[in-house]
Structure 1
């Protein structure tokens, strides 16, 4: 058994700015259970899809072309790695950009697992002989859940960037702090509606990052129930695919990841790397360190 705890520091300031790396990624679509899923594919110079693809999953209510995902995709391409950055549908057809808080939330956290699986199957159909999966923040938890289920045999490696953690009572405390309101009565109402078969009933409330919005009871239960599987280090106990967890050393969003990874990282197939000084989004030059760790771990080149 082994445990790897490497601490990385930012690379030299002489490196080019991330904004200068951006290249046009091709928009691709996939029909999944009547919903059009959208992704953006970047093929590395001199490469082809058969050389393998990194399937990338974004964080909460975000999208595959947000800054961290687009910049990471460009850095992967510079290192010779093809990458597909997907937009989780979040219950919307052909969704692009950040989630519109004016729209009723009809999505569930766990829906991402099926969409990741659908994209993996699509990539194989397009000729990808091997895959790696990468997820950031909530997307890291969703990737871990995919891996803990029945991942495609083509998936060889996984990289989780500052993946979500959870402890009992977290949602109630966070909701109180964010919205100065009690979560318990809202969650109990949602649970009752779901139990009665009325999970599609819409509730008016503050939801995740959206103030004064609406969400179905089923969505409320999915995101706010007490669920140990929201804790990525816990989920990793059921994952057999070699996985690298990259901790942001100065993360103020996910503050307990390094501590919680102490036990999982003792497993032979689980590694942990700390990017010292980085915030949750791996802004600026810290993303280079994360990309270097990711490509070295995947090890295709």
Structure 2
């Protein structure tokens, strides 16, 4: 059975509700054995047919974190519909909370690409005629990864907000300093298990993403830590054919190397903007300026 045919709407939301005045509603869709959660917000007088901005949060976070909620509210006020996806991290019906570090981590960075495709197919079912993808931080990288490798006839614009960068040497140095063990040894152990067909084996590692003394499968370790150029957002840009906007904060210390990595990158379909004074999360009035840049770019 295809992904398209498996997707089901499991909330009590009749199709006619999509034509109601402004509202926000939790949506669930099936992806294999998982139920994914999201929140659809329709601007007043708008329906899915008017277009939807599909939004993705950052690392181990959720769809109701402050930046996601603020952007959705501001976009609604400007007449834009949004769908805020909540990544499952391989957990059925995962709550809208920061991910619990004590779980056995079975998720991989690229899982988000498949989940974005599921949401794109759901939007198509609802009659959406155009979709803009917007991702923040790691979500920005995952949105770019989707646009580079999956794309969609519905996808018209790609927006990455402070998208993640990657530098293997820097990552290895920071891991060793923080966790006291060479990252290369952990990755080699994980690869050995995966190559032996034991990718679901759980490893005890000193650190996994933001989590200390974590338990993660070998496939999960490789999914986040193997040397893969696609984890560095600028490396994905040449493969993206749709119009793109990258927005940076001038005071962002999380992806401080992003401006340098974008120097010399020239593509006719790429626009780059900076919000002066904003840090990685574009709080308060910086969110307003960010939304102004997004809506000017999307221009529906």
TM-score using structure 2 length: 0.90
Equivalent position of 1:200 in the other structure: 200
Equivalent position of 1:7 in the other structure: none
Local SS of the residue matching 2:105? coil
1:58 aligns with 2:57: yes
Equivalent position of 1:171 in the other structure: 171
1:49 aligns with 2:44: no
Equivalent position of 1:13 in the other structure: none
Deviation at 1:208, TM superposition (A): 0.6
Count of paired positions: 277
Deviation at 1:24, TM superposition (A): 6.5
Equivalent position of 2:277 in the other structure: 277
Query: What does 1:26-175 align with in structure 2 at a 5 Å threshold?
Result: 26-96=25-95, 97-175=97-175
Instruction: Work out the CA distance in 1 between the residues paired with 2:124 and 2:91.
Output: 25
Whether the 8 Å contact between 1:169 and 1:226 is mirrored in structure 2 is no
Distance 1:24 1:98, change over 3 A: farther
Instruction: Work out the CA distance in 1 between the residues paired with 2:201 and 2:137.
Output: 29
Instruction: Work out the CA distance in 2 between the residues paired with 1:176 and 1:297.
Output: 41
Q: Deviations over 1:252-298 (max 9, x none)?
A: 1101111212233x211001001111111112211111111001000
Q: Deviations over 1:81-108 (max 9, x none)?
A: 0000001111110111111111110011
Equivalent position of 2:13 in the other structure: none
Query: What does 1:142-291 align with in structure 2 at a 5 Å threshold?
Result: 142-205=142-205, 206-264=207-265, 266-291=266-291
RMSD over aligned CA atoms reads 1.2
Q: Which structure is richer in relative contact order (CA contacts within 8 A, separation 6 or more)?
A: 1
Instruction: Work out the CA distance in 2 between the residues paired with 1:24 and 1:295.
Output: 20
TM-score using structure 1 length: 0.89
Equivalent position of 1:6 in the other structure: none
Deviation at 1:124, TM superposition (A): 1.0
Q: 5+ residue gaps in structure 1?
A: 1-22
Deviation at 1:157, TM superposition (A): 0.4
Instruction: Work out the CA distance in 2 between the residues paired with 1:134 and 1:178.
Output: 31
Q: Could you list the runs of 4 or more consecutive aligned residues of structure 1 that deviate by over 4 angstroms after TM superposition? A: none
Instruction: Work out the CA distance in 2 between the residues paired with 1:164 and 1:36.
Output: 27
Deviation at 1:223, TM superposition (A): 0.5
Q: 5+ residue gaps in structure 2?
A: 1-21
